[in-house]
A and B are shown apart, each in its own frame.
Chain A
């Protein structure tokens, strides 16, 4: 990264800023704090315009959200002349119309849900209501009682039966959700006293839909049932209208959004420039290779009176510089795995290349099966071909590719093809080790990988610290040496290495011990213990792998275990499918964890500021609150 300062006459500031925005490479820095230099002000006219455009943007975003128009970036350069006044009117109208349609749709859905809730009850009581409708002496009332008041219903029935005798009948129907719908048939003259009786019996009433409350039940019920059939068509009409509105105005709204966001971003950038009575200054960060193009663009746009100077490295601190990960094409997908953590500090090590090598290696070591590897490679190729460049699916497929390759390589080393199929049918022998039998050899290989990975982490930690803190670098280096010495001593003790190496290894350990304590204090010893624990943690590579191969073998055994071969084959396929899903997910998570916890813990220094250059389509504008449509 380079830090540059652009200085020029005040009347050239807009042209210079436009050139900076067009290039889209400069991240504007905080305002320089110097005597006589103050932050630039927008002026009353631009302030007023900013307020208007902020409102316009709110309308546009709400309209697009209400119309469910898919977000699609429109390049501001393609917009010939921004017509903010027309867009403001159009956005307001579109927002209003979309809101009206959405509100109508919500009301219709609520109405349908409400009537649908009563539907069974209405169908059950309709004959009784029709019968009562012919009688002048009797009348019918529908009451919905909430679930919490169900107990009071029996008390009410007893009281009314005692008061009205045989002329009173009541039928109750449970509704979905626990409420109870009750149909009361009672003498007409008692009708106006019913509300008082309900209140006395502490039976709260859930109201029927507003539109039908004033109607007699004999009219309301058929109307409600007919409405239930009519509502879906009305909802569909609303949806059609919304889609048509989105199609007609979505493109224009997107254009308006791009132009307004661009203007607001430029206004915010203007405020981040500093000025004196006659001059302006802009400071910012950009990749060193972009300094030349910036100079050329700004000079072309604002003239030769505008000067661009690169600020010396000694005059700025690494903690202020933004961080951008820049890796070869093959490693770039793995930057997404680093992006799950805070960015590394400027000037420290970018772990992407190490992750790009060790992540697929660990994945392959765990899954290690030619058959599963081929399936994974095929899936990765299909997804990669179909997904858009830069999408998450595409990145996932690009990470899965190397993982599949390592899975096939380790599958060959382990002699596995969908478990033991190749071994049983073709007599294939493993080239390296049989994971099903040689459990301890697999464990040793996993821990061996742990030693290499953790020691590499410690070495990287020493290199990172070496630039600023030599004592800490010494401690990290000494930890790496001690881990290697402990491993050598153990291997010599178990006679894997010549036994005569044991004593020298222990003597060297005793020599390095005080150096570690000198470099890192007592905590260094505790950290060394943690580091040894970290190495043992790589045993999971063996554990996950062994579980995977045993499940695959079990799947194969199902073919003979079930009576019918076809059924057995089906079970085996199903089991392999499940094992494949677990086999992809488990190793990915475990490999990720081994990197994040065991490896990064030794050298990774989080806290870097992301690189967010000022350009077209950048988010310097104030983000607006987005209200969701009901």
Chain B
């Protein structure tokens, strides 16, 4: 397979999921900071909420690695 397309695929897998995670975390993080200012005892819940979207970029990272190592033969 054309190595260029593998590289683009891997970049898209990590790049798009990173953007999606960043966008989601920015919204949740801002709201979470506001919540903590009012109710510091909700720190645990806020950590959970902020950390939830990270699954996207982590799975994106694994897909990108799989593309490069398995298909790319690297």
Contacts and interface: CB of A to CB of B under 8 A. Distances in A.
Contacts of B65: 439, 546
Nearest to A533: B55
A543 B55 CA distance: 11
B49 to A, nearest CB: 10
Contacts of B54: 540, 590, 593
B1 interface: no
A543 B21 CA distance: 15
A540 B55 contact: yes
A101 interface: no
A540 to B, nearest CB: 4
Contacts of B8: none
B47 A536 contact: no
A426 interface: no
Contacts, number: 43
B22 to A, nearest CB: 16
Range, interface on chain B: 10 to 19
Interface in B17-74: 43-45, 47-48, 51-52, 54-55, 58-59, 61-62, 65, 69
Contact of A590 (B51, B59, B62): B51
Most A Cβ at <10 Å: residue of B45, B48, B69: B48
Given A540-B54, A540-B58, A593-B48, A439 B69 contact: yes
Contacts of A440: 69
Interface residues of A, number: 20
B51 A341 contact: no
Nearest to A592: B47
Given A439-B65, A539-B62, A543-B58, A597 B52 contact: yes
Contacts of A439: 65, 69
Interface string A587-626: 0011011001100000000000000000000000000000
Interface in A504-543: 536-537, 539-540, 542-543
Given A537-B55, A590-B51, A341 B62 contact: no
Interface string A195-210: 0000000000000000
Interface of A (DSSP majority class): helix
Contacts of B52: 593, 597
A539 B47 contact: no
Most B Cβ at <10 Å: residue of A340, A443, A542: A340
Contacts of A596: 44, 47-48, 51
A593 B47 contact: yes
A308 B69 CA distance: 72
Contact of B59 (A340, A536, A593): A536
Nearest to A542: B62
B59 to A, nearest CB: 7
Nearest to A341: B44
A597 B43 CA distance: 14
B32 to A, nearest CB: 13
B47 A589 contact: yes
Contacts of A597: 48, 51-52
Contacts of B55: 537, 540
B51 A589 contact: yes
Contacts of B48: 593, 596-597
A491 B59 CA distance: 20
Nearest to A440: B69
A355 to B, nearest CB: 12
A340 B44 contact: yes
A443 B62 contact: yes
3 closest cross-chain pairs (CB), A and B: A340-B44, A593-B51, A341-B44
16 contacts: A340-B44, A341-B44, A342-B44, A439-B65, A439-B69, A536-B59, A539-B58, A540-B54, A540-B55, A547-B61, A590-B54, A592-B51, A593-B47, A593-B54, A596-B47, A597-B52
Interface of B: 43-45, 47-48, 51-52, 54-55, 58-59, 61-62, 65, 69
Interface of A: 340-342, 439-440, 443, 536-537, 539-540, 542-543, 546-547, 589-590, 592-593, 596-597
